[in-house]
Amino acid sequence: MLAITQDSFGGPEVLKLAEVSRPEPGPAEVLIRVHAIGVNPTDSWHRASGGLAGGETPIRLGWDVSGVIESVGPGVTIFQPGDEVFGLPRHPHPAGTYAQYVTSPARHVIRKPSRLTHTEAAALPLAALTAWQALVDTADLRPGQRVLIHAAAGGVGHLAVQIAKARGAYVIGTARSAKHDLVLGLGADEVIDYTAVDFTTIARDIDVVLDTIGGEYGPRSLTTLRPGGILVALASPAEAYLAEQARPLGSRAAFMIVEADRAGLHEIAALVENGSLRPHIDTVLPLEWAAEAHALGTSGRTSGKIVLTVD
C-alpha cells in the first residue's frame, strides 16, 4: 500500500509518499480501507520533533480516519467488512492513518454518521473529542455557564463553539475580524478580535476557558475566570504553573491530552445526527499532497480543518 512516511524530523518537506507493507488486524482489531484523514496541529508537532514518539524514525503520521472496514481480527463482533467507520485509533500512541490502510482497536472507531461524507467525518475525531473531553469531561460545562474559547475559528475551536452551544452555554470566542462571521454562524454569542483589543478587558465572569493557544494566553485567561471557574489548557503542559497561579484567584487550571474514546465519539455522532455539530472544511487535498497540507496548516490562514483524501 501507499503511505506517507518520514526518515527525519523537520519541515513539511520531510514527508514523502512510499510503498509499505499493508498491515493485518490483530486480535480485537480491524483493518480500515482509508477514505479520508484529518490533519491536526499535533501531526506537525510530531513531524517536526517526534512529539510523543520520542525522537525515533521512521515514523508514520496521522490519527483521524474515516473509511470502510476491510477485515476484522480475531474476537471482533461489533463490525464486519463493509461497515463505514470513523474514529481516533490509538491516540496518543502512534496510529499512522496517513495511508491507504490502517489497523485500529475495534473500539476506537464507531459507525460513521449517515449525514456526513468520509471527508467530513475525518475532520471530526481528534478535534471534536478534544473539545468534548475538555468542555464536558474535564470542565463539566453546564447550561447557562459562560465559556471563553480561544482560536474559535480553528480546528478544535470551531467544534468547541458548537458543542458548548449544544450544552446551553453562553459562548465568547476570540478570532481575527475576518473570521467573525464564521464563528457567529457557528452559534457564538460574542466574538472578540484579539488583534484589536485585549480580550481580558471584555471577557468577564467566565466559568470555563478553553485555551488552544498556550504561552501567555493561559495566565491572562485566568484573570477572566470567576471564583470556581476552570481553565483547560491544550497547547502547553504548564498545568502545575497555571494551577499555582489559579489557586489564589479561587479558580482552577488543568492540562489535557485527548484520548481515544468510544463513548465520546458516540456523543459527537449524536450531535451530528441532530444537526448541532458540523465540521467546517477549509481545504481538501490528496494524500500525496501531505507536505502541502502541513505547510498550509502552519500558515495561520486557515479556518476549521484540512483533510487528506485517499483515492
CATH number at residue 86: 3.90.180.10
- pLDDT over 80 (residue 56): no
Q: Are 71 and 40 in contact (CB under 8 A)?
A: no
What pLDDT, on a 0 to 100 scale, did the predictor assign at position 54?
Answer: 64
Q: Are residues 157 and 73 in the same domain?
A: no
- Closest residue by Cα to residue 200 from 182, 223, 184: 223
- Residue 268 placed within a domain: no
DSSP H/E element including 34: strand 29-39
CA distance 311 to 298: 25
The amino acid occupying position 138 is T
What is the band of 235 on the pLDDT scale with cuts at 50, 70, 90?
A: confident
Q: Which residues, 6 or more positions from 194, have their beta carbon under 8 angstroms from its beta carbon?
A: 150, 174, 175, 176
State the pTM of this model.
0.96
Q: Are 45 and 11 in contact (CB under 8 A)?
A: no
For helices 155-166 and 125-132, what crossing angle results, to 10°?
Answer: 50
- Residue 273 placed within a domain: no
What pLDDT, on a 0 to 100 scale, did the predictor assign at position 57?
Answer: 79
Domain count, the chain: 2
What pLDDT, on a 0 to 100 scale, did the predictor assign at position 310?
Answer: 98
Q: Are residues 143 and 237 in the same domain?
A: yes
What does the pLDDT look like over 269-299, one tens digit per residue?
999 999 999 999 999 999 999 999 999 998 8
- Residue 266 placed within a domain: no
Q: Are residues 12 and 114 in the same domain?
A: yes
- pLDDT over 90 (residue 111): yes
Integer-rounded Cα radius of gyration of the chain: 19
- pLDDT over 80 (residue 55): no
Structural domain harbouring 164: 126-255
Q: Are residues 244 and 294 in the same domain?
A: no
What is the band of 238 on the pLDDT scale with cuts at 50, 70, 90?
A: low
- Residue 263 placed within a domain: no
- Residue 267 placed within a domain: no
Q: Are residues 100 and 190 in the same domain?
A: no
What does the pLDDT look like over 11-52, one tens digit per residue?
999 999 999 999 999 999 999 999 999 999 999 999 998 887
* All cell numbers assigned to 32: 480500515
